[in-house]
Amino acid sequence: MLDRTADKAIVADTEEFAALARLIIYARQTSKTLNAEFTSYCLDLALAAVIDEMEKAGLDTSIMAPNAEAVIGELH
């Protein structure tokens, strides 16, 4: 029972982090379209922080967004 509860918590955490990452990716793309350089920079930092938190927690980062891999590649 505890394993199933822990698994559900991991899935929920992964989904919440992924939703947060998608929001940041969308805002980042919008800020780039608007040529808002400082805002884009701050959103890059925010996305990197979310990815870092997910990796530290051992969560799957591949479910963030269809274009997340390209965005992550830009950050590294």
pLDDT at 4: 62
CA dist 16 and 36 (Å) reads 27
Residue 38 has pLDDT above 90, yes or no: yes
User: Is 0.85 topped by the overall pTM?
Assistant: no
Residue 50 has pLDDT above 60, yes or no: yes
**Banded pLDDT at 10 (limits 50, 70, 90):** confident
Domain spans of the chain, in order of start: 2-75
Nearest to 21 by CA among 53, 56, 59, 65: 65
Cα 55 to the center of its chain, rounded Å: 10
